[in-house]
Amino acid sequence: MLQYLIILLDDTSTSFCHYECTKVNRKLISLENLREGIFFAMEENMMIQFVYPDYNLPQEYEDVIESIDHSKIKPASCCDNADVVILNSLDETSDFQFQEGIPYVLRIDKENLFSYRQEVRDIIEKVARLNVVITDIDSFTDDDFTTYKEFLSESVGQLIDLYTKGMTPQFNLLTDRMMLHEMNNCNAGHETLTLAPDGNFYVCPAFYYASPCDGKEISLADVCKKGFSVGSLEKGLDVKNKHLYKIDYAPICRICDAFQCKRCAWLNRKTTLEVNTPSRQQCVVAHIERNASRMLLEGFRKKGFYLPEQEIKEIDYLDPFEIKRKR
Amino acid sequence: MENLKIRPEGKVWQDGVSKSITFIVTKDCQLACKYCYLVGKNSKERMSFETAKSAVDYILSHESQFTEASVVWDFIGGEPFLEVDLIDRICDYIKIEMYRRNHHWFGSYRFSLTTNGINYDTPKVQDFIKKNKNHLSVGLTIDGTKVKHDLNRIYKKSGKGSYEDVVRNIPLWMSQFPFEGTKVTISSEDIPYIAESVLHIYSLGIHQVNINCVFEDVWKEGDDKLFERQLVSLADSIIDNDLYKDYSCSFFSEHIGKPQNPIDENQNWCGAGQMLAIDANGIFYPCTRFAQYSLREKKAWTIGNIHDGIDQNRLRPFLTLDRCTQSKPECISCEVSRGCAWCQGENYDAAETPTAYQRATAICKMHKARVRANNYYWNKLYRKLELEGLREEFEKNKPKSKDLIC
């Protein structure tokens, strides 16, 4: 059931996830489309998340936005009154004044994550919640898996120290799984949709920024002759094969217990050509996080103060595809 | 009393658990069959030996990716025997390399082709067959009577039917491959000729007819009723003339037309992804049906190439596909779903989004008609056997079911 509508206010609205914003020229959504998008969300009982560009919007836009309950996702470079702040690189964090109570998203590639582990971990101590989004998960190699495991292992020790001191920061890669008893994924296409400045709906912003035909012989776009739009304000929603975005129709994910995994439909399509099938990289990364969360839980247990009813079982695989194949 | 012998349905080599590797050696064919799904046939794209060699080298040097105990090296077209010299050279290379590398497939391999039969008796084809006879399966396609065959299987240039040029090679083919069956494809226009065509094929000495309706959405209003009547007529002929003892037709199978348990009977029908197809450009596909020349609406679905190898991520959707995930609720709860087939490539081509997970159901009413006729067949046969006191013996000797579709 649809619950959230993401509205990209501009073609250059900040990315808050794995995808890159590929458009360089500013193009605001029209005021008419903005109003219609809000009206659509009201009629569908959807909570709106507005995604902002790195400049201030005209006042008339802000007035329309304030006419409805919503949350604001803003880039760090222009983040007044933001509900979620996006840091698009570590460079943006050096002199940044973190605010209490606001969740921050750090978008970072693996090279920088592995090279600047301490700098990343330093942020955890400054914020109520840090979401790290690794922007090139699909390129992870076996060596990267090892390094990632090391990074998370080091972070486990840091979190145990912080909690022992009475601080309670949330770090998505470690603390989320510990709190979950069932899948808590992105659910784009099923619970969340995106309205783009062109007045069309998309499964998520990544599908808006993807070119439907980039001319390469073997590519994601080749498989889809048509664009990725799933309807428009004018003609209404038309999500074909909508069920494939639900976990019941994802053969690998429905047997998985890496509950914190984003289960990113865009990365799935990019890597396996199916929105319901994750790549090996996504599965292994999610399981390294899951197993690190298990270590964290054990660490907390030794301190005797956390989640007695939670259990993360020990498992002997990192990719549930292997389990599915054995069945 | 003489033992009641029942001809087993087509036995699949190694029970079908071997790896199937298909070389699309040419996209050319002498024929332009009206029902052919290969929309992109042409005379330009033929595989070079170097491409084939690179594919063989990749496959044999990645033994850990190909762990099946056996292999079927399959050659497809167009018409594969148009490239018999190339195929011969590739087969020689495969044999030498499997031996040289001490590959586990060396003791368990076959070569396989299906031909339109037109140049079957040429010296080059015959030399190839003799050379590889102990490791070779050759299927030959004849669609039935001259009328039925020539309705669809016509020459590309002249538009003339090909029946006479094929039927003259049947005795030679049967003498060399006496246990092979023929594959018959049914489209809307073929329906009135089904019964007489199957009986005609039997009369040519071919004991096994593997027959199926096309998966594409070609069916017209009333086709299912006509189809059912044809199958009932065929059932009468087979049973009344005791042909069931020595001949088989894949339309009649005792195990089809039952409901299926969504847990225990949830496996995928199609082997796409379990097999590997390679085209003239050295591109890998999960099955030939995902190559561009097979697709009407969608772009080719590639899974790698001879230079970069197989992209294992692109295989994952195929290797985790199951029946229920790709089926509509009415298919999952269908009372007669067992034996209702699908083609993963056609599913993809007909799907509303670029996915292999949307099952095409154009065949639905034809399957239900088949089930009704199949029920009639078995009820009539068992009653006849009962009256003749042969039922118990039949039950003991009856063959296992094997639906041969792809």
Per-residue pLDDT tens over the stretch B108-155: 999 999 999 999 999 999 999 999 999 999 999 999 999 999 998 999
CB contact under 8 A, B353 and A240: yes
Question: Which chain A residue has the Cα nearest residue B299?
Answer: A223
Distance CA B59, CA A237 (A): 46
Q: Give contacts of A277 with chain B, Cβ < 8 Å.
A: 316-317, 320
The yes-or-no verdict on residue B59 having pLDDT over 90 is yes
Q: Residue B397: which pLDDT band, with cuts at 50, 70 and 90?
A: confident
Interval B80-94 mean pLDDT:
98
Distance CA B30, CA B27 (A): 10
CB contact under 8 A, B317 and A324: no
| Nearest CB to A273; choose among B297, B317, B352 | B317
Q: Largest Cα–Cα distance in chain A?
A: 59
Q: What angle do CA A51, A52, A55 make, to 5 degrees?
A: 175
Q: Which residues of B touch A (CB under 8 A)?
A: 283, 297-302, 305, 312-314, 316-317, 319-322, 325, 351-358
Alpha carbon of B47: minimum distance to chain A alpha carbons (Å): 18
Q: How many cross-chain Cβ pairs, A to B, lie less than 8 Å apart?
A: 70
The predicted structure's pLDDT at residue B1: 36
The predicted structure's pLDDT at residue A218: 37
Q: Which residues of A touch B (CB under 8 A)?
A: 217-218, 222-225, 240-241, 244, 249, 251-252, 271-281, 321, 324-325
- Which of A272, A276, A319 best probes binding to B when mutated, by most B CB atoms within 10 angstroms? A272
- Cβ contacts of A92-101, under 8 Å, gap ≥ 24: A93/A119, A93/A123, A98/A123, A98/A126, A98/A127, A100/A128, A101/A128
CB contact under 8 A, A241 and B352: yes
Q: What is the pLDDT of residues B324-346, one digit of tens each?
A: 999 999 999 999 999 999 999 99
CB contact under 8 A, B325 and A275: no
The predicted structure's pLDDT at residue A214: 43
Alpha carbon of B307: minimum distance to chain A alpha carbons (Å): 13
Closest CA to A233 of A20, A15, A31, A12: A31
CB contact under 8 A, B314 and A222: no
Report pTM: 0.90
User: What are A56's two structure tokens?
Assistant: 């201030």
Alpha carbon of A93: minimum distance to chain B alpha carbons (Å): 35
Q: Which residue has the higher pLDDT, B264 or B224?
A: B224
The predicted structure's pLDDT at residue A306: 65
Question: Which chain B residue has the Cα nearest residue A283?
Answer: B313
Q: Sheet holding A129-134: strands in order across?
A: A170-171, A129-134, A103-108, A84-87, A70-75, A47-51, A4-8, A192-195, A201-202
Alpha helices in A182-327 (DSSP H): 205-209, 220-223, 265-272, 280-303, 320-326
Average pLDDT, chain B: 91
The predicted structure's pLDDT at residue B40: 66
Distance CA B23, CA B80 (A): 9
Alpha carbon of A104: minimum distance to chain B alpha carbons (Å): 31
Q: Give contacts of A279 with chain B, Cβ < 8 Å.
A: 313, 316
The predicted structure's pLDDT at residue B346: 95
CB contact under 8 A, B319 and A325: yes
Interval B225-242 mean pLDDT:
98
User: What are A252's two structure tokens?
Assistant: 């690998």
Torsion of CA A243, A244, A249, A255, to 10 degrees: -130
CB contact under 8 A, A251 and B320: yes
CB contact under 8 A, B320 and A273: no
* CB-based contact A16:A4 (threshold 8 Å): no
Q: Which residue has the higher pLDDT, B5 or A110?
A: A110
CB contact under 8 A, B322 and A272: no
Distance CA B342, CA B202 (A): 27
Q: Give contacts of B322 with chain A, Cβ < 8 Å.
A: 251
CB contact under 8 A, B317 and A277: yes
Alpha carbon of A217: minimum distance to chain B alpha carbons (Å): 9
What ipTM does this complex have? 0.91
Q: What is the pLDDT of residues B198-215, one digit of tens each?
A: 999 999 999 999 999 999
Q: Give contacts of A276 with chain B, Cβ < 8 Å.
A: 317, 325, 357
| Nearest CB to B353; choose among A241, A280, A321 | A241
The predicted structure's pLDDT at residue B395: 84
Instruction: Give the DSSP letter of residue B259.
Output: -
CB contact under 8 A, A279 and B356: no
Alpha carbon of A223: minimum distance to chain B alpha carbons (Å): 5
Q: Give contacts of B263 with chain A, Cβ < 8 Å.
A: none
Q: Sheet holding B182-186: strands in order across?
A: B182-186, B208-213, B248-249
CB contact under 8 A, A222 and B299: yes
Q: Residue B403: which pLDDT band, with cuts at 50, 70 and 90?
A: very low
Q: Mean pLDDT of residues grouped by 10 in chain A (327 residues)?
A: 96 96 95 98 96 97 97 96 96 91 96 96 95 97 98 96 93 95 93 97 94 46 64 94 94 96 95 96 98 95 80 95 83
Question: Which chain A residue has the Cα nearest residue B349?
Answer: A223
Question: Which chain B residue has the Cα nearest residue A242?
Answer: B353
CB contact under 8 A, B312 and A280: yes
The yes-or-no verdict on residue B270 having pLDDT over 90 is no
Question: Which chain A residue has the Cα nearest residue B358?
Answer: A241
Question: Which chain B residue has the Cα nearest residue A280?
Answer: B313
- Residue A124's Cβ-count burial label (10 Å; 0-12, 13-18, 19+) is buried
Question: Which chain B residue has the Cα nearest residue A319?
Answer: B316
CB contact under 8 A, B357 and A321: no
Q: Give contacts of A218 with chain B, Cβ < 8 Å.
A: 283, 302, 305
Q: Residue B2: which pLDDT band, with cuts at 50, 70 and 90?
A: very low
Interval B247-269 mean pLDDT:
92
* CB-based contact A144:A134 (threshold 8 Å): no
Closest CA to B125 of B92, B95, B85, B177: B85
Closest CA to B41 of B57, B25, B21: B25
The yes-or-no verdict on residue B234 having pLDDT over 50 is yes
- Which of B320, B323, B358 best probes binding to A when mutated, by most A CB atoms within 10 angstroms? B320
Interval B365-386 mean pLDDT:
97
CB contact under 8 A, A280 and B316: yes
- Which of B303, B353, B358, B359 best probes binding to A when mutated, by most A CB atoms within 10 angstroms? B353
b/e per residue, B355-390, with b = 16+ CB within 10 A?
bbbbbbbbbbbbbbbbbbbbebbeebbeebbeeeeb
* CB-based contact B13:B65 (threshold 8 Å): no
CB contact under 8 A, B353 and A218: no
CB contact under 8 A, A218 and B298: no
